[in-house]
């Protein structure tokens, strides 16, 4: 038996490593670096109903322990993703992927989600209600538990695939948001998305990012992510997918001890395109060092 295998929402993943949405494009772009079929799954770039250019430049700022981005969900729109991007992905990736969707209204989310019903290489929908750099959408939906419950329920009613709700850490109580998602019918929760951050250009005295602030991610958020993964895993019965600053095999195991059933790798893909491959290769040796026989045995062990 594969000692790295995990089960998530009834699907067997060959390992728990999933590139996070927004850091791995539509997947096929990374096939020129390594065989992406080694991945547990792939969370595709955030997709909206209509094409989006995203925010004006500049929209990235470097930090000592990560980066700030305000890309603004730039994407070609759901129809183009289905007709072009997923066709390209199918040529490079034999398994199914997770589609991440965003929107500015309930109807945006609902109409976008419905488009991916019956798409052969999509197995789950990740509802992005946690993006901090999309005006009028994203995180605006993810900071109110009543809205989270209502939106989750509305999307769940119209889709045929499992629903993952991606939570924002920019809230007073992450547990309240997770419980609301579960009550709304979410099949799983993913967290954490980025924290709100800002950098100032000392030459101009103005914010570097064109829209002033953006989402801070990278190794600096890892301890915050672990705390929130643990807190959410302790208060819901549905699976949790952990992410936030994870950059190596040891941190994958730490997230799984905290309660994660699978792990998404985000910013590290932008630093090192081979990051997910390296982590998968490292996991058996690190597990041997820690006397871990099967990776699924450690899920929620700290709770």
Beta strand pairing status for 163-166 and 214-217? unpaired
Q: Is the pLDDT of residue 132 over 90?
A: no
Please state, rounded to an integer, the average pLDDT across all residues of the chain. Answer: 95
Q: What is the per-residue pLDDT for 303?
A: 87
Q: Is 276 a catalytic residue?
A: no
Domains of the chain: 6-298 (3.20.20.70)
Structure-token pair, residue 112: 């976008």
Mean pLDDT of 212-236: 97
- Can you give the pLDDT at residue 143? 85
**What is the model's pLDDT at position 133?**
46
Instruction: Give yes or no for a contact between 176 and 169, defined as CB atoms under 8 angstroms apart.
Output: no
For 48-162, strand residue ranges (E) read: 60-63, 66-69, 97-101, 122-128
What per-residue confidence (pLDDT) applies to 176? 97
Separation of alpha carbons 290 and 293, rounded Å: 9
Active-site hit among 63, 131, 235, 276: 131
> Model's pTM, two decimal places?
0.96
Q: Is the pLDDT of residue 137 over 60?
A: no
Over residues 218-225, mean pLDDT: 98
The answer on pLDDT for 228 being more than 70 is yes
Percent of the residues in the chain that have a pLDDT greater than 70, as a whole number: 96
Query: How confident is the model over 129-148, as a mean pLDDT?
Result: 69
Residues 6+ apart with CB under 8 A from 192: 130, 167, 168, 169, 174, 221, 224, 225, 228, 229, 243, 244
Residue 46: CA atoms inside 13 Å, Cβ hemisphere, count?
A: 24
């Amino acid at each position: 038996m594969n000692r790295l295998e995990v089960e998530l929402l009834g699907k067997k993943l060959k390992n728990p490593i999933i590139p996070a949405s927004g850091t791995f494009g539509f997947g096929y772009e990374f096939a020129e670096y390594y065989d992406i079929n080694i991945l547990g799954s792939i969370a595709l770039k955030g997709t909206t109903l209509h094409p989006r250019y995203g925010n004006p430049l500049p929209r990235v700022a470097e930090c000592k322990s990560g980066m700030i981005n305000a890309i603004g969900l730039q994407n070609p729109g759901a129809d183009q993703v289905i007709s072009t991007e997923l066709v390209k992905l199918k040529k490079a990736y034999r398994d199914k992927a997770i589609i991440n969707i965003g929107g500015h209204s309930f109807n945006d989310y609902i109409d976008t989600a419905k488009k991916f019903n019956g798409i052969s290489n999509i197995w789950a929908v990740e509802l992005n209600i946690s993006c901090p750099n999309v005006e009028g959408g994203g995180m605006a939906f993810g900071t109110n538990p009543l809205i989270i419950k209502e939106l989750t329920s509305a999307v769940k009613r119209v889709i045929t695939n499992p629903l993952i709700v991606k939570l924002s850490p920019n809230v007073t109580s992450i547990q309240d948001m997770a419980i609301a998602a579960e009550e709304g019918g979410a099949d799983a929760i993913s967290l954490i998305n980025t924290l709100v951050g800002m950098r100032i250009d000392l030459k101009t005295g103005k914010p570097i990012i064109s829209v002033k602030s953006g989402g801070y991610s990278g190794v600096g958020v890892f301890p915050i992510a672990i705390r929130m993964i643990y807190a959410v895993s302790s208060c819901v019965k549905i699976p949790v997918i952990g992410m936030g600053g994870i950059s190596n095999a040891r941190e994958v195991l730490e997230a799984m001890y905290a309660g994660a059933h699978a792990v998404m790798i985000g910013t590290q893909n932008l630093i090192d395109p081979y990051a997910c491959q390296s982590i998968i290769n490292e996991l058996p040796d690190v597990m041997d060092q820690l006397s871990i026989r099967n990776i699924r045995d450690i899920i929620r062990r700290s709770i």
